[in-house]
Amino acid sequence: MNIVVGVTGASGAQYAFALLRHLKDHVDLVISEDAKKVIAHEMDVGVDAFAKLATAVWRNDDTTAPPSSGSYRFAAMVIIPCSLGTLGKIAWGISDNLITRAAAVCLKERRKLILVPRETPLAATHMENMVRLANQGAVILPAMPGFYHKPETVDDLVNFIVGKVLDQLGIEHRLFRRWRE
Ligand SMILES: Cc1cc2nc3c(=O)[nH]c(=O)nc-3n(C[C@H](O)[C@H](O)[C@H](O)COP(=O)(O)O)c2cc1C
């Protein structure tokens, strides 16, 4: 299964890195310019380490790259973390870079689109944009870890969200203990 992973400039680059480590599929990776700044600020590893975990890496300003076309076969796209700026653009059909264009392809081709926003608190506009996307079939999966699996480390919290993304992709994992498991 081909999966497109978009990384944008919301806090939570760790979520993207952990997801990439757990995906065994063909991964097309796109990292926004602002995500690169957040990675430099939040991570001990650089963008190169992210790139090594992908099958192919595309520039976000390259709207001629394969994921920009509906004729390119990919099953799903995950934007993790997803800035509310990118989420808003997708909600309103603005395809001004490869990430927003590939997301628009998912919506028009009825492919799985999973958005992992991270922000708090939320303005009404943000919530309205999320509803707009949910009504078009996108999965809004906020970076909101639960605590019922008794997390002890930051990795436990990160893995909870990554596990939820893998659940949406139908990929088996043991990243967190399920309720009553
Ligand atoms: C350190 C840092 C943390 C940020 N965290 C968030 C965040 O959690 N959520 C968000 O929506 N934007 C956040 N931003 C702002 C986005 O980076 C900014 O809106 C950017 O234009 C998003 O562009 P992109 O979606 O193309 O990456 C953050 C910016 C910086 C520098």
Rounded to whole angstroms, the Cα distance separating 175 from 166 reads 9
Q: Using the mean position of ligand 1's atoms as its centre, give its distance from the Cα of residue 34 in Å.
A: 7
Q: With respect to residue 174, please indicate whether it lies within any of the assigned structural domains.
A: no
Q: With respect to residue 181, please indicate whether it lies within any of the assigned structural domains.
A: no
Domain range for 77 is: 2-169
Per-residue pLDDT in tens (0 to 9) along the chain, 181 residues = 799 999 999 999 999 999 999 998 899 999 999 999 999 999 999 999 999 999 999 999 999 999 999 999 999 999 999 999 999 999 999 999 999 999 999 999 999 999 999 999 999 999 999 999 999 999 999 999 999 999 999 999 999 999 999 999 999 999 999 998 7
Q: Is the CB of 118 under 6 A from ligand 1?
A: yes
Rounded to whole angstroms, the Cα distance separating 101 from 108 reads 11
CATH of the domain at 155: 3.40.50.1950
The protein residue with its alpha carbon nearest to ligand 1, atom 9, reads 10
| Tally of domains within the chain | 1
Rounded to whole angstroms, the Cα distance separating 53 from 135 reads 32
Q: With respect to residue 178, please indicate whether it lies within any of the assigned structural domains.
A: no
Q: With respect to residue 126, please indicate whether it lies within any of the assigned structural domains.
A: yes
Q: Is the CB of 35 under 6 A from ligand 1?
A: yes
Least Cα distance to 79 among 173, 155, 142, 156 occurs for: 142
CA distances from 96 to 17, 62, 151, 156 (A): 25, 10, 39, 35
